[in-house]
Amino acid sequence: MNTIIFDIETIPKVFDSLDEAQQQYLLKFAEDEEEREKIKDQMALWAPTNEIVAIGMLSVETQKGAVYFQSREQEVVEWEDGNIKYVPGTEREILEKFWKAISYANKFVTFNGRGFDCPVLMMRSAIHKVKPSKNLMPYRYSSDVHVDLLEHLTYYSSTRKFNLDFYCKAFGIESPKSHGVTGHDVKPMFEQGKYKEIAQYCAGDLHATRELYLRWKEYMAFKDR
């Protein structure tokens, strides 16, 4: 069995890079400057208006993995830290590397993958004309191929949703957010050229998700019938 955990980090596109019709469409319900800025930040959540700056992958069984990340104009040489390899590239290149790696997985694990990571990866790939090697949106109510931990921990939205940081603390798992970086920091970090730091932050999410998955698998999972 080769079970792969993956996670992505995104930033919003530069708003002025959109044409006038797109800008008006996004802001048509914004009533003031605060709401306009909020929508601009939310662009990081939507595949047509965001950009993937890091894709992290980790094998549950071997604990070896990789983070593929953008470094823009900075020339960054790939390096290894523990069992994680860090590999720079353009958005298209890191998507190609992701699809090659995930093709070897029998099962994959995410946290909110169905609501975010999976559709973004598939749509951003289509935008770049990169062919996916695997369907990341299989049958929702089976854990045979995809285990979305947020889906399972909320019993398919039957209970309140919490973020990864909250669940980690509830289960006594070290949270990747305890080092002071959150997803909201990715955009300013990217603008400041902190590409390596973003990649390392992404790796932290992988390890936390693995620990949460193992806890779910041991104490909460039941075999699909």
- The pLDDT tens digits for 149-160 are 999 999 999 999
**Sequential pLDDT tens for the chain (225 residues):** 799 999 999 999 999 999 999 999 999 999 999 999 999 999 999 999 999 999 999 999 999 999 999 998 778 889 999 999 999 999 999 999 999 999 999 999 999 999 999 999 999 999 999 999 999 999 999 999 999 999 999 999 999 999 999 999 999 999 877 667 788 899 999 999 999 999 999 999 999 999 999 999 999 987 654
Instruction: Give pLDDT, residue 224.
Output: 53
Q: What whole-number distance in Å separates Cα of residue 121 and Cα of residue 98? A: 9
- Among 101, 141, 136, which Cα is nearest to 122's? 136
pLDDT value of position 137: 96
pLDDT of residue 225: 41
Q: Which amino acid is at 78?
A: E
Type of residue found at 99: W
d(CA 57, CA 97): 11
pLDDT of residue 179: 66
Packing angle, helices 91-102 and 118-127, rounded to 10 = 120
pTM assigned to the model:
0.94
Task: Give me 14's structure tokens.
Answer: 């530069």
**Domains along the chain with CATH numbers:** 3-219 (3.30.420.10)
